[in-house]
Structures are given as structure tokens and as C-alpha cells.
């Protein structure tokens, strides 16, 4: 499902938010979407809380 929606999802700012960590050096790349992970966790928590209610 995500693969089919990727052309539109890639335009969203997720993964490029402030405090998302991205380090690029020669022969090395590290990406940790810290803020994106927190926001998605909060969203999923709210959706599951609402669904169980």
C-alpha cells in the first residue's frame, strides 16, 4: 500500500522535520527520524485510543 502511495507520500515533510538526525560523510550515511517517530507514535496512540473507546 505504501509503495503505491509513495509518489505522494514522499512529498510530505516526514523524515525531514526539525531535529530529525541526518549525517552524511564519505562512504557513510546515517538517518534517524526522531521527530517523525515521535509524531507518528502520538498519532497512532490517539487513533488506537479512539478506536478502543
Q: What is the mean pLDDT of each successive set of 10 residues along the chain, which is 53 residues long?
A: 72 73 90 86 94 88
Name the nearest CA neighbour of 33 among 11, 49, 25, 41: 41
pLDDT of residue 36: 82
Distance CA 18, CA 12 (A): 14
Query: Does pTM top 0.85 for this prediction?
Result: no
Amino acid at each position: 500500500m505504501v509503495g503505491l502511495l509513495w509518489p505522494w507520500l514522499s512529498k510530505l515533510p516526514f523524515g525531514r522535520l526539525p531535529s530529525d538526525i541526518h549525517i552524511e560523510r564519505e562512504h557513510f550515511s546515517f538517518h534517524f527520524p526522531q521527530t517523525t517517530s515521535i509524531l507518528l507514535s502520538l498519532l497512532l496512540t490517539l487513533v488506537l485510543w479512539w478506536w478502543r473507546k
